Amino acid sequence: MSHLGENSHILSEYTSMLPNFKDNVYTSQYCEENIYLLAQRMLAQPNIEGEWDINIIFISNPSRTVALWNQRASSSIYDAVIWDYHVILALRGSSAADRDDERGTWIYDLDTRLPVPYHWEEYVERTFPGHSDLPGQFQSLFRVVPCKVYLDSFASDRSHMIIDDPSLGPRYLAAPPAYPCICGPLAAAQGVSHNLMNDFVHMGGDVSGFGTVLDFASFKAWCSVSKPEISRGM
């Protein structure tokens, strides 16, 4: 049974305070910037912080080879895409102690073939099928970054998308967005112009950077608003 069908009425009560993701500026291959712009629009909505806990999720691993299914970049719904990293937004019902919150967690993946937003259980089931049976190099880790931290501290000069083509010289792997490079106010104040790969994507043995890095089981526990065992970054 579809979790979206079971829970869509819960989310529908709050859609008036949520921006329509279809109005979001979107640039293929720049998921971190697409989600940054969506997060800005989310946080600008009146009273949203009292109702929802907004987090940015970076998906990668030490080898930067994670397998995700139902991505639009795949030629078939049956084939996985191997990303070096991917970025989504998680909207989690605020678990205030004085009330019973049953809204759950909803995922905004702007590159999926699945509905957006989608209830986390269905999203995880269809995006990471048979995850525990995959070779380790294709299994995912999840860096959970609070929305405000991401908006303040993220910076990208897009240099990670530039390659040196022997015949053409330096060129972008994919056409960059038309708007200027993103640099959060705190990153700008610290003179940081590019921290995407080191502080957000990197998930090697010396885990540092922003947010908290979770394995697959701990990420599912986090989505279910329980208290997972976590490995904290700096």
Measured between alpha carbons, how far is 118 from 5 in angstroms, rounded to an integer?
Answer: 10
Measured between alpha carbons, how far is 132 from 138 in angstroms, rounded to an integer?
Answer: 10
Characterize the bridge pairing of strands 81-83 and 66-68. Answer: antiparallel
Is 82:187 a contact under the CB 8 Å cutoff? no
* Residue 126 burial (10 A CB sphere; 0-12, 13-18, 19+): middle
Active-site entry in 84, 86, 111, 160: 86
Structure tokens belonging to residue 95: 């678990």
86 in active site: yes
Is 31:66 a contact under the CB 8 Å cutoff? no
Compute the C-alpha angle 60/63/65, nearest 5°: 55
Active-site entry in 3, 9, 23, 31: 31
Active-site entry in 3, 23, 53, 109: 109
SS3 state of residue 37:
helix
Distance separating the N- and C-terminal Cα atoms of the chain: 40
Residues annotated as catalytic are 31, 86, 109
